[in-house]
Structures are given as C-alpha cells and as structure tokens.
Amino acid sequence: MICLTYLVAFLSSIQITSGTVQPTVTLKDGTVLQGVYEEFNSDLLPVYGKIESYYGIPYAEAPVGPLRFKPPVPKKQLDSPLEATKVGRSCMQPDISILGVPLTNEEMSEDCLFLDVIVPKSVTENSHVLVSIHGGGFTMGAGQMSWFHFLTLASYGNIIVVAFNYRLGPFGFLTTAFGGDPNKVTIGGISAGGASAAFHTLSPGSKGLFQYAMIESGSPFDSWVTYRQGEEARLEVRTLAKLIGCRAEDIEDDAKLLNCLMKAPAEDINENIGKSVAEICVKKLKGEIKVLGPKFSVLNSEIQWENLQKVGLTGLPGPSVDGVFLPKNALNILEEGTLNGESYVVGSNAEEGTGYLSIFFPDKEVKPVINNTSLSAIISSGLIGDVPSSIVQKLMKTLYTIDEKDLLNENQEDYFHEISQFLGDLIFFCGSSKFAKLASQSKNVYRYTMTFVPSNNLMGVNWMGATHGCHAQFVFGMPFQEKFLEKFTDKDRDMSRKVMQYWINFMKTGNPNIATDADYLTLPNWPKFKKTDQVYKDLTPDMENRYMKERECYFMDNVFLPLRNAFKEFKKSKIADDEQSKWTEEGQCEGEACHVDEEKAEMTKERLLGIKVGDDRNDVKTLP
C-alpha cells in the first residue's frame, strides 16, 4: 500500500495552464508536465467536451532491485519538461488475453508505477475528483484498459478522473491516489478495485483522505480476498521459489529464500505465479480424494491443470492484517464503527458467478449444460473450498432449486442456475451484503444490484448475463463511445445515462438522489440501505427499488462457511494421521511418536459435529 498522503501532496500540487499546442502542468517544485488535448462529443448523451489528459506520470520510484517487495518510495524530482502523452507500461501480470480484454499498453515491466489524470477544460480549481482503482483480482489489469476510457464520465459529470497502475500478484500492492480538491475526493473501483476501496474505509492511515467510496463487486468479506498468514503464506512463497529455481536448502531458510526471490528475473516470477497456485490447488484436490474417498470427487483432467492455472490467478495475492494499513480484521473494525469517509455506494451484479463458469466452458456462443460430472469438477477445482462435492451439491440444490419437484430428481441434467447463483453469492454477493449491513450502522450506505443484461458482454461471452464487472460499461459510458455504438441499443444507452447520473450525483454530494446541475436527469429515489431495512436499487432502465435476498446469505455466513472451515481442519488432521500410519508401516519411527494424537482427532470430530452459528466469515466458531 502506498502512502496516500504522498499522493495527495503530489496531485494537489498540480496547476493546469492551457497552451495552444498542448496543455501543460506545473508542479509546485517547478516541474512542467506536457499533456494532450482530447475531445468527447456525443449527440446521443448529449455532451460536448474538450479534455486535457496527462498520461504516464511516474508517482513513485521504480520498485526494482532492492525496492522489489518493499513499500513504494515517493518519486524524486521528475525530468522537466516531462512528456505525459502516452499511457505508461503495465505492471507484470499473467496473460490477460484469458479475459479477452487487452491492455492499453501491452509492454509490461516492474517499472510500472504511473498515473493518468483526465481533466475536462471546464472544471474549476476546486473540482470533484474520482480516484479509480482498477480490478483484476490483484493479479491483472491496469489503470487504463482498452475496452473503455474515462473521457465520457469525466465530460458528462465535469469531474477530474485519476487512474493508476499498482503492483500485482507477488510483486506487491498499492491502492489509491488523489487529485484536485482534497475535500472533494471519491475513491472507487470494481472487483479488486472495489475491495481496495473498502479496505481504505477501514484503514486508519486513510483517514481524512476522501469523502465518499464506491465499492463495486468486491468487499473484505469475499472468499477470494484472502488473508494470508502463517504456513499457508509460506507454502505459497516456497512453491513459487521452487518453480523459479531456488535451491532446496535456500527455500528452507527465510533470509536465503528472500535473497533468491530478489535476484530472480521478473519474467520468471511472472511466468510461474499461476503455475505455483495451480500446483497448490492440484495438491488440495489429490488430498481430497485421499482423505474423503473418490466417491466425493469426480475430476475432469482437461479442467484440472490448464484452467486451474487461470483460476489460480486470483489465489495468491491478498491483503493481510499487518498492524499498519490494517491493524485488525475487517469485522472488528466494522463492528467498532471506526470507518473513513461519509457515504458509500455498495453493490454487485445478479449473475456474478457466471464469470467463473466461463473459465471451465470456453464456448462463447453456447450456454453450457452442467451435468453431474462437470458440476463435481467445478466444485472440486478449489473455488468453493474443502467441503466434499456431494455435500455441496445437496446443499446447493436445497437452497437454489427453483422447482421443488426437482429436489428429489437424482438425474437432473443441468445445474447451470444452481451453481452460478451459488458461486455468485459465495464469492461476491453475500460478502458485499455483509459489508453494507455493518457499515450502515455508522455511515450512509446506498446498495445496488444490477439485473439488467447488457447487449454487449465485455468478454465476448453471450450466455453470462448480468455478470461480474459488466456494469462498468454503463458507469463509464461505453454505449456512447463511437467505436462501441453498434454493440449497444437505445435501451443500453438509457441505462448508461441513468447509471452515470446516479454515480455523478453521489461523487458530488454523497447522495445519488441530489443533482448539482439543473440540466441533469430526474431519477427515481434511491433509499438508504440499512441493516433493518435492506432496500436496494435494481439497476435496470426502470430503476426500481427491491429488497435483498436474506436466506441465501444467512446460509453462506452461518452454515456453509463454518462447515467449509471445519472440513479444512478435518482434512489437515486426517492427512497428518495418514502420514503417521505410513511411517509406522514402513518402520520409520517407534513408540509414542508413531501414535495418532487421539485428543486432536476427537477435537476435530467435535468441530465437524458441533458447528456454532457465528457472524465472522474469517473465523470459525465451534462448540466447546
């Protein structure tokens, strides 16, 4: 995480003075930045905007050599004048073509800490600012992506937009930057960007640096936002070290291990990060078969390796309770109510889970039929955890089967609806709901769910519905951008216009219902979300208000997650017992050292049989 106060100082020092050929920016230290003039014009929106854009501004020293894995260091004096006319290099990451979304700058490097500032010419000195944190599971993406730009939103809302790169995967994290009036800053993001924005509402170090937060399809309670600690974190690092060629004796010594990782070429780390996570996942799958018996797991060999590397892309990085950025876990901070900012927008999409299904089913045109075999393979892939697939399947059917007659149907041919809703609730929806409920006790919270299905899917997959991240094209005005006009309908454009209006209202006032310009649209009222009144805005062209589903999230939080953690502990104990039995059979040990720890085994049974209802998605509470 970068020092946010440094970025406030950096961006608030900008003074824009327009030139005839190109705009210029003079920093307080005298450094001159030279940008580019751009325009966004749309008769359909309508908006006609002239924009001054500054791309590729270094905001920290290159995190290379001794600075690898270290906190970012503020950038020293920049070259002057600095040509800020091209998007900077992207940070090291896996092949993003997996998502069908190319980077704006496909050149990757560890030297990648650049930011961009988009400034409508009509803004005043004390303009409102959106700091956009990109998504990508902490492993992929960049501040500027080729499938959308910020010109539409900046022009329509007359706001400054700041976007930036941050280190990804094993290279580390950075999560925000600021500009314009420091008292008029909104931070926001989608997926990992949304989770990052949420973490800044919790961090003491971010106090006073923003007013509002937009937390979209990501939260501290999502199952993919891992809190890596202890042996689990060490296993991930050691697996990566082995794959990049560190010596076995060095891997067992922390100082030597760090030295090996510091010297390794960035390309080697980048190439092997997905493989390391996939290897851990495969070991987990083998462990499941060994411990719980083959009847619990049916694996598809084609899925097992190739796609686990893709699934594994979101498996390694994640935040940690470091005592600095996060002094304690998210639940404790939320319960205490010591949050930053005044108001939040929190939301997710109705079919978040289909994004994960697309990993297993590459056909972009034909909606997959998910039978028992493929369902078991998906459940066993590591996405859901350590609960045996047969148990997950029964729980899933009980909660998500639409027609009760199908509950007793042992020959059900298609589980698409059940597994996509299960994954969406587990991985995104219920975590966002939990965050919103807790935050609403001390802050103004506005909750949304998008059920509208866009005419255009960002990944080019036609069967995904209102899936993960697809609302971004409405937030950033893609239906009005010239190169995408034919991909969208007038209904899409109506939707985008309304979504942008709500977002702009919120960024300027902290309330999506209050417009600051008489020419803006009049929209249906968006009520506050409260723990005792869980009303949300259904993002469709009609913009109706509805009430949250509670049964599914109660089940996830109080039944499934404790059950999953109990099985995880059981598996660890069983594997250890099997190893001891193996040593005994091979005559490798004698006496008490070979005996199974009966007390430990008994405690594990109690955890499985006596799960106590609790609220913490990160802590399993069991009966004594």
4 Cβ neighbours under 8 A, 6+ residues apart: 176, 177, 178, 200, 205, 206, 209
C-alpha radius of gyration, the chain, whole number = 25
**In angstroms, what CA-CA distances link 187 with 88, 194, 286, 367, 507?**
21, 9, 42, 36, 9
User: Residue 557 is which amino acid?
Assistant: D
> Residues 192, 194, 197, 199: what is their CA dihedral angle, to the nearest 10 degrees?
-60
Contact 531, 440 (CB under 8 A): yes
201 Cβ neighbours under 8 A, 6+ residues apart: 213, 215, 339, 340, 341, 344, 439
Q: Which residue has the tokens 């199908």?
A: 406
Write out the DSSP string of 429-493: IHHHHHHHHHHTTTSEEEEEEE-PPPSS-TTS-TT--S-TTTTHHHHTTGGGSGGGGGG--HHHH
Contact 280, 315 (CB under 8 A): yes
Residues classed as catalytic: 191, 352, 468
Q: Which residues pair with 42 in a beta bridge?
A: 47
CA dihedral (453, 456, 458, 459) positive or negative: positive
How many Cα atoms within 13 Å fall on the side-chain side of residue 473?
28
Token readout for 115 is: 């930011």
User: Residue 332 is which amino acid?
Assistant: N
Could you count the other beta carbons within 10 Å of the beta carbon of residue 16? 18
> Residues 137, 141, 143, 144: what is their CA dihedral angle, to the nearest 10 degrees?
-140
